Structure 1
Amino acid sequence: MDRYVHHELRSVYTALAALAVSLAATSGVHGAPMTAYGVGRFALGLVAFAVVCTLLGATRLKWVGEIRDFEAAIPLPEAPAKSIGLRRHPLNWWLFTVMTVPTLVLAIAWAPWIALLPLWPALAWLGQIWLAVDWERRNGRVLWRGADSDAPWKLAYSVGVPSRNGAGAPAGTTPA
């Protein structure tokens, strides 16, 4: 199983890695994808979009609200002993490939500014992380993905505040 927050953070790392590769390759072929003024406006637009998506995710609306998914999570009898570690698996290689290849092809063949598009989902995922961490703290639960092998995207929760060392031991201790 995988902690929901770690899963989303892994997606952010992957999107930022795809952004770095796409920017480097596109800049090597075409030069800078935008002027400084254009990048600023583009980034401001993406941040505004991420804020709107996060605010919509904080609602209980049927198709866009994340809170309903958190509240519909099934309870686990205890916290999982083993989970996919963020340190050992910081990137999702499948997602990296899916994000990088089309971005590179379109940025090099059509318009260099497309190399900046992986920033868009990264900011949206950061908003989902913020919502999940806030929900976990308010409810004293930890969200997990992969409890149901038939539907690994469905969420489950364990009771308790997540430990800082990620191994299930109380914060400030080292696991044996």
Structure 2
Amino acid sequence: MRRYVHNELATIAEALCAVAISAPVAFGVRGIPKAESAWWPITVLIPLSVGSTVSGVLACTRSTRLGSEKLDLERAVPVAPDTVLPTSGESLLRSLALRSVAFLVVPTLVAALLWEPLMALIPLALVPDRLARATYAAYWERRHGIMLWQGHLPDQPLGKGEYLYSSVRQLTS
């Protein structure tokens, strides 16, 4: 099981790691693009980032058509009182996945090497959406005095998307 906020922050870290790996390689092999030739990749990256930001903000609304995180969080079910939850560090480590970094690095690096070096920055488009979701989830947790979890526990009823919540004071391992 992982804390919801940790999962969102881990996705941001994975995107930043992918950029930290692919950008130096792409810029080292293909060179840093000149400002005159970099206008068209930037016109692609900026709308992607704006769209990601809008997506993250809209996910925090109650609209069912937009895939509302707010409604999903409100449908979370309580964790059984005798369940021992992972510590904060353990939850954060469980949220990080090297295969996600590889999944971001490989196509980004191929596009950056074969097409345009600035394509190495594409994983940054994930950051605004995940940051908005993490910020809203942290606010929601604080407002309700609970901690949100993702995952499945044996003999535990599931909410939509397998969201669970626990008291802030519940013991962790």
Using structure 1 for the length normalisation, give the TM-score. 0.77
The match for 2:149 among 135, 144, 151 is 144
Task: Give how far 1:80 is off.
Answer: 3.5
Pair 1:59 & 2:61 matched: yes
**How many residue pairs end up in the alignment?**
165
Change (3 A) 1:141 1:44: same
Deviating more after overlay: 13-22 vs 32-41: 32-41
SS in 1 for 2:32: coil
Task: Give how far 1:106 is off.
Answer: 1.2
Deviating more after overlay: 68-77 vs 33-42: 33-42
Deviating more after overlay: 108-117 vs 79-88: 79-88
Where structure 2 has 5 or more consecutive residues not aligned to the other structure, the ranges are: none
Root-mean-square deviation over aligned CA pairs: 3.2
Q: What one-letter code is carried by the residue in structure 1 that aligns with 2:168? A: G
Q: What one-letter code is carried by the residue in structure 2 that aligns with 1:32? A: I
SS in 1 for 2:90: coil
SS in 1 for 2:165: strand
The match for 2:127 among 122, 125, 128 is 122
Q: What one-letter code is carried by the residue in structure 1 that aligns with 2:19? A: L
Q: Which residue of 1 aligns with 2:71?
A: 68
- Do the aligned residues in 1 keep the contact of 2:54 with 2:129 (CA within 8 Å)? no
SS in 2 for 1:118: helix
Q: What one-letter code is carried by the residue in structure 1 that aligns with 2:75? A: A
Q: Which residue of 1 aligns with 2:32?
A: 32
Deviating more after overlay: 45-54 vs 103-112: 45-54
**What percent of counterpart residues are identical?**
31
Q: What one-letter code is carried by the residue in structure 2 that aligns with 1:48? A: V
- Do the aligned residues in 1 keep the contact of 2:2 with 2:95 (CA within 8 Å)? no
Bigger relative contact order (CA 8 A; separation at least 6): 2
Where structure 1 has 5 or more consecutive residues not aligned to the other structure, the ranges are: 169-174
Which has more helix, going by share of residues?
A: 2
Q: Which residue of 1 aligns with 2:86?
A: 82
